[in-house]
Structure formats: structure tokens, C-alpha cells
Structure 1
């Protein structure tokens, strides 16, 4: 009987399945970020000095697996690839401007228990996590960042601007959204540059009422600790399902890898380390067991897998491939109970004192290349924020009055009522 080679790929990053300290690129891990003599002003300006990101790990893992399960519930036979950390950071940054039920829905949608975790801890945790990911691994290339593109006429609250800069190291770029074509190009060029051309044309058809676009980007490139020899790569069968077989370039290597067979879930686990402190965990369910494994994807399952991995010599075959995915995060978040922020009930009064802001679009795009020497991945998340009351649409498409006024003398020169503009 042919065995079905269906591979579930997880990037085992700092928080979920790979623990330990990253190598220091400097004598002091934060010498290049913080002054050497901290004082109260420094503490206030850089709240990310604490290691609060450890508290985020369980919630971030649960969010990642829940998002994945909602994606595959719609199209279980399609490729899936996304960056949960990019999506989480985008909405956490948005939460800085949210209040009341809108705030609670966002944070609970990100899998935070607000009875156990304070909002400030969430932002401090993400702040420190961004610092660590961007600055402490010499072996791999990992660039992560955020940007706010703000309508030139919008006047955000100073506290909001300070928070997005201090907690999320976000750039703030004032933009003329009245020229939507130029604004789209500006944002897409920014994302393309930050992801080395891997994520393009993410922003399309900006709403005429757009007053802010929030962007998160991630670019990652790493080399396998023990590369696959290109000489051993050859065409092999890949069994998509019982009826479909395709030919793929299959990489091969014999070596010692951490691996484990989960008898309860009937799946193989193989951890393939990269140089530095990153690894890829490949999960291979037995034939017909993919759904069972997917349903069990929880933070506690990941922890159990991590503790079960043991070094053993194996013959490892992994396909050489490139995939990408684009997702309507708005619809997925609605299924998670994050609803108000996308409606007229949104309370984003922490961004500006004016009412009427809401998120009209939330789109995520990610790509992955896996090859003999390593892997390359990129992702970007884009939130489009529009204003109803700030820039109202007024369409004279029913009977109306009209006056022609001399403003110097306040004299009404002409006055009329237009019932049918087509009548002469």
C-alpha cells in the first residue's frame, strides 16, 4: 500500500517549540538599544526592557493554532502558510487605540485571558519580543517591523503615537490618501522593500474613506545546520490523496535529527535545526490521520511534542517547494468573536478623539521557499482604517434646497428647491 506523504510544516521559533538563549551579537545584548546608565526616563521610554514576552508564548501559540484551524476548515485540501506573529502584532498595535468592548474582543481574539493578563503586559511582551527577534540572532536574517501610514489631515492623539513608537517601534508616515493610486504604490513599495521583494501588491483598491493603514512585515532567511546535498535531490512521487499523485523534487539526507512518533495521534515529528536558534518542525500524519492531528493542535500538544523529541539517526526526505497564502483576516477574526472593530460599533477613540473609525480591511500574505541550503519566508499584514464621520459621503440624490448667498452682506441672492434635476 502506498503511504500518503502529507507534510504539515511548522516554523518552530523562539516561543513555541524551540527554547533556550539566542547567541549574543554584542557583549551586552541590549547595549545597542538602551543607554548604559538607565534612569527613570529611559525606563519610561523603553518599557520593553522587561522579559514579559515569556508570558505571551502560550497565548501566541493558541492563537496560531486556532487561526490555522479556521483557515483549514474552509479549504482543507489547499496549501496553508501564514505568519501568526505578524497578525498578532498588527492587532495588538491596533488595540492601543481601542477601548471598551472593541478592546476586549481584540485581545481575547488574540487568545489572551484578560482576567490573568493585563493589557500593559501584552504590549510590553510584544515590545520585548520584537527587540529580541530583531537584534539577538547573528546566524539568521530576521527583520520585523511596523508602520502607520496616516492621512495628512488626521490628528491622532499624541499618546497613541508615542505608544506605537515605544511599544512597537513603529514608523509613522503621513500620507495623502486622497490620491489613492499614489498611496497604494507608496505602501506596496514599502512592504516590498522590507520583505526583499517577496511580498508585493498586498494593498489594493484603497477605500476612499481611508485615514490610516497599519502594516506589519516579517522577513526570515536561514540556512540548515546540516544542508541537504543537491546531488541527492531527485524526482519522487508525492501522494496528495488516494486518487492524486504528483512528481516533486525530493531532498534527501541521512543524519541525526530530533524525532518522535506520536502513537496517540499517529504522526511522525522531525525537527530540522537551522544555524542559530531556529528550527523547522515537520509533522507527518499517517494516512487518513491529518484531520485528527489538526484538531489536536493546541499549545499543550506542542509542549508535549517538544518534550518527546529525541536524537536518532534517520533517513529524511523533504520536498523542495515554494508556497504562498493570502488571507482575509477580517472574516477569520469575526469567527473568533472579534466583530465590533469592523463595524460602526467600533471604539477606536484611543487613536483620535473623533468618532467613526473602523477597520474596513485586514489582509495577510505570506510566502515560503524550502531548498537544499535552508529556507526563506516573508509575510505582511495590512489593516485599512476608514472614517465615516470624519470624511462623510454626501450625495445629493434626492430633492434638495439651494441658496446663492453674498457672504459679504449675508444676502440671499437666489433660493430654490430642486425636485427633479432633469426637468427644464
Structure 2
């Protein structure tokens, strides 16, 4: 081999070795680069997976568009990323509002029940005050008085308002927001008036002397909550004022109370009148064919003859062993009932009045049992009128009837305005068809097998309730069914 050929061959070998060294170096660098890339791959897939899951979770059903890592996400995708948590928050807020609404409804229902209970207790307290002056027949509407005085409370402030609440037994309600108390009465009044089977209508008038400017807010609130009609009156012309007011009442009660006022003081500034008309029909009427004249015992020695109704069928009743009295339930149409309380012994009916409470009545109702019975019940008609302001004074409501009355929410001159009179006249008639009434203004109980006959032939008490609300509409005592 020539030298040139050998040199060429050596050059080729050195070149080949150098190329192999470079390839080895490149291979080593490649392995290092792959190792480094592998290290990065351990992190990057988790980030991408997180982003992909986020996109799928936020935009379900939509495939991600093919974009390079450097391409920014479209605006609508970004907004969707924020939208889901916002929707969750809205759902939570709606659920919270629904829960609050249910709680408010439950609280409102409890408040209405408490209102009915306290109004009934007020009625029993008022009964005791009336009984101190009258030992004969008696009938009035606790609901009517409480409704009217609460309406007047819209115009009262300070101690005047506080006294009314306390006197009406309404301080226990503890309203959490303004207007709650009148709104409770409004709801109750509307519920009763919309019950057509019950046959109850209610209204009130505020006769105000024309020299006083009544605040428009009081007019609006009185109309809104109590449907009160405020009527300006010139009490200086007493005869004309008496005639006009009697006309209003006669018209509104359908002629049942043609004359409420006998005389008017010319110095009068405000007269408040409420009326309730109740035309209750027995759920099971008494048959007039069986009504006969029978004996009614006024006391141990005196008796009279009265028309006595007769009914046979299923009646609910109980007997209170502590007070020794029968309690009979006579239901009306429209979820109302008359409770008749008949003492076992003659003359004990007055003693019972000191113990009458809502709790006692509820105990009687819980222990009622329905059975087949015969019932004798007298027909009667009562017509009673009371100067309620005198009775309310005795129950602690004094300031509103005095020169210290604060009626600044009623009139700009409210410091010089006081309530002169609060009158309520109640007319009730009970016969075979039912009851027609107009109002212008812890015991141990044993339910035992009642005798097959209950004969109401001696003085008794009666209470007319609306059962759904538990409101005591009328409360009375019958000593002589032949007298008004």
C-alpha cells in the first residue's frame, strides 16, 4: 500500500473515532435531556389534568377547543369558571331564604295563637270586672274590645301605648318589628270575615271632633289594619251628633242596634265604637217541633217558665270534678262552637268566674268525649251595653282616658286629646236555627260517662269560639233567659 493510501486510511479511521466520540457525547446529552424532560413530565400532567377537570366540571358536555398552551382561554370560558360557585351561592341563598320563610310562617302562626290566648284571658279578666257590678245576664265581645283598642293604639305613644298593651294582655307577644301587632289582628280579622259559613262581620267607627286635625298616617293605618272609618263630628251640636252616630250604627248593623247613644257630652273629643255581627247556624239544628215550655231555676227558691229546645244525637262533653261542672260543646257551621258551662249545684256559677282562664278551657276541650246524648237548652235573647272605658280603667288602661293621654300619632294636637268614652253594646239571640249576635262595641279533669241527659235549666255561662284561631268572640252569662 502506498504512503498516500495509508495516510488516507489513517485519516479516515481518526475521523470515524471522532465521530463515534461525538455521537457518544450527543447520546449522553440526549439521555440527560430526556431525564430532565421526564422530571418535568411528573409535574406538568397533574396541572393539565387539573385544568381539564376544571373545564369539564364547569362546562359539562363541551369538549375543550384545540389550543396551544400559550393561547389564552376565551372570555366566555373564564366567566363560566366563576359562574358555578356563584350558582352554588345563589342556591344556598335561596335555600336559606326558604328556611327563613318557613321559620317566619311558623313564628307567625305561633304569634296568632298567642294573640288568641291572651285576648281570651283579657276577656275573662273583663268578665270579672263586669261581674263586680252586675250579677244578672251578661254578654260582650272580648275580640271586639281588643280589636278596637289596638286600633286606637296606632295613635298612641309612650306610657299611653304601654298601658293599652298591658291592659289588653298583649305585652307578652313582644313584637319584633313595627306594625306586627296590628298586622296580626288584620290577618285574624280577614280570616274570620272570609269564612262565609261562620257568618261574622266586623267594623269600627272613630267619631272625632271637627276641631282636631287627624294625621293622615293614622287614617291610612286604621283603614289598612282595622277597616276603621274615621268620621268628623261636631260634638258642640250634641243632638245632631247623637242622631248622626246612631244612624251610622243602625245602618252598619242592619237595624239590629237602632240606638246606641242616649246622650252626648258637648265637650266630647273622640268616641270609639266597634261592632261585630255574628249569625251562627248550628251544625245540627234543634227541631222546633220538640221545643216546649219548661221550668228554669233562677235560684234555690224561684223558678220561671221558658221555651226549652230539645236535641238528641252525638254531643261532645266533659265533667270537671274540681269545679263540679258540666261542659257541653254545641258546634256551629264554619268551625265555631259554643261552650256551655253548667254548675252541678245551684248558685255556684258566680264562684267559677274567679278561675276562668284559657288554660282551663283548653283542658276542658282536651278532655271532651263524644257520645249519644239528649240535650235540653233554653232559647234566650240578651241585649247588653257597657261603658267599657270605666272597666278598662280598672284594668290599668287609664292615661288614654285622662288629660295625660299621648295621642301624638293620631293628631298634631294629640297632647290635648283624650278618649271620652268606649261603648260596646251586644245583642245575642239563640234559637233552634242558631245564634244571631251583634256586638257594638291547672285543674284535674276527668272525662267520665256523662248522664244520657243534660238539661240546662239553671244559670250558666257560655263562650263562643272560632276554633281555627282559638279566638274568643263572645262571652256571657245567662241567669234569666226571659230577660234581656
Same fold (TM over 0.5): yes
Sort the Cα spacing of 1:51 and 1:131 in 2 relative to 1 into closer, same or farther, 3 A. farther
Instruction: Tell me the secondary structure at the aligned position of residue 155 of structure 1.
Output: coil
d(CA) in 1 for partners of 2:206 and 2:394? Answer: 26
d(CA) in 2 for partners of 1:150 and 1:331? Answer: 20
The one of 205, 230, 235 equivalent to 2:293 is 235
> Which residue is equivalent to 2:417?
357
User: Which 5+ residue runs of structure 1 have no aligned equivalent?
Assistant: 1-48, 382-424
> Which residue is equivalent to 1:81?
139
The one of 188, 199, 216 equivalent to 2:274 is 216
Instruction: Tell me the secondary structure at the aligned position of residue 258 of structure 2.
Output: coil
d(CA) in 1 for partners of 2:141 and 2:373? Answer: 29
Q: Do the aligned partners of 1:188 and 1:200 also contact (CA within 8 Å) in 2? A: yes
Structure 2 residue 178 is the aligned partner of structure 1 residue 134? no
Q: Do the aligned partners of 2:426 and 2:437 also contact (CA within 8 Å) in 1? A: yes
Structure 2 residue 427 is the aligned partner of structure 1 residue 370? no
User: Any idea what the Cα deviations from partners look like across 1:125-171, whole Å, max 9, x if unmatched?
Assistant: 11111111111x22232110122233334211122112111111222
Q: Which has the larger radius of gyration?
A: 2
Q: Do the aligned partners of 1:177 and 1:208 also contact (CA within 8 Å) in 2? A: yes
**Displacement after TM superposition at 1:180 (Å):** 2.4
Q: Do the aligned partners of 1:225 and 1:275 also contact (CA within 8 Å) in 2? A: yes
> Which residue is equivalent to 2:310?
252
Q: Do the aligned partners of 1:184 and 1:206 also contact (CA within 8 Å) in 2? A: yes
Which stretch shows the higher mean deviation, 111-120 or 276-285? 111-120
d(CA) in 2 for partners of 1:189 and 1:112? Answer: 33
> Which residue is equivalent to 1:41?
none
Sort the Cα spacing of 1:276 and 1:114 in 2 relative to 1 into closer, same or farther, 3 A. closer
d(CA) in 1 for partners of 2:368 and 2:400? Answer: 41
> Which residue is equivalent to 1:175?
233
d(CA) in 2 for partners of 1:333 and 1:282? Answer: 26
> Which residue is equivalent to 1:408?
none
Q: TM-score, normalised by structure 1?
A: 0.74
The one of 275, 281, 287 equivalent to 2:333 is 275
Q: Do the aligned partners of 2:269 and 2:420 also contact (CA within 8 Å) in 1? A: no
Instruction: Tell me the secondary structure at the aligned position of residue 358 of structure 1.
Output: coil
d(CA) in 2 for partners of 1:51 and 1:131? Answer: 17
The one of 312, 333, 344 equivalent to 1:286 is 344
User: Which 5+ residue runs of structure 2 have no aligned equivalent?
Assistant: 1-107, 442-484
The one of 157, 160, 168 equivalent to 1:110 is 168
d(CA) in 1 for partners of 2:283 and 2:120? Answer: 25
Instruction: Tell me the secondary structure at the aligned position of residue 156 of structure 2.
Output: coil
Alignment of 1:267-416 (within 5 A): 267-287=325-345, 288-354=347-413, 355-381=415-441
> Which residue is equivalent to 1:94?
152
Larger strand proportion of the pair? 1
d(CA) in 2 for partners of 1:121 and 1:264? Answer: 39
Which stretch shows the higher mean deviation, 139-148 or 228-237? 139-148
User: Any idea what the Cα deviations from partners look like across 1:360-402, whole Å, max 9, x if unmatched?
Assistant: 2222110110101111000112xxxxxxxxxxxxxxxxxxxxx
Q: Do the aligned partners of 1:151 and 1:174 also contact (CA within 8 Å) in 2? A: yes
**Displacement after TM superposition at 1:258 (Å):** 0.9
> Which residue is equivalent to 2:252?
194
Q: Do the aligned partners of 1:267 and 1:286 also contact (CA within 8 Å) in 2? A: yes
Alignment of 1:128-167 (within 5 A): 128-135=187-194, 137-167=195-225
d(CA) in 2 for partners of 1:263 and 1:52? Answer: 32
Q: Do the aligned partners of 1:96 and 1:350 also contact (CA within 8 Å) in 2? A: yes
Name the Cα RMSD after superposition: 1.9
Instruction: Tell me the secondary structure at the aligned position of residue 171 of structure 2.
Output: coil
Q: Do the aligned partners of 1:51 and 1:128 also contact (CA within 8 Å) in 2? A: no
d(CA) in 2 for partners of 1:96 and 1:227? Answer: 42
d(CA) in 2 for partners of 1:253 and 1:180? Answer: 50
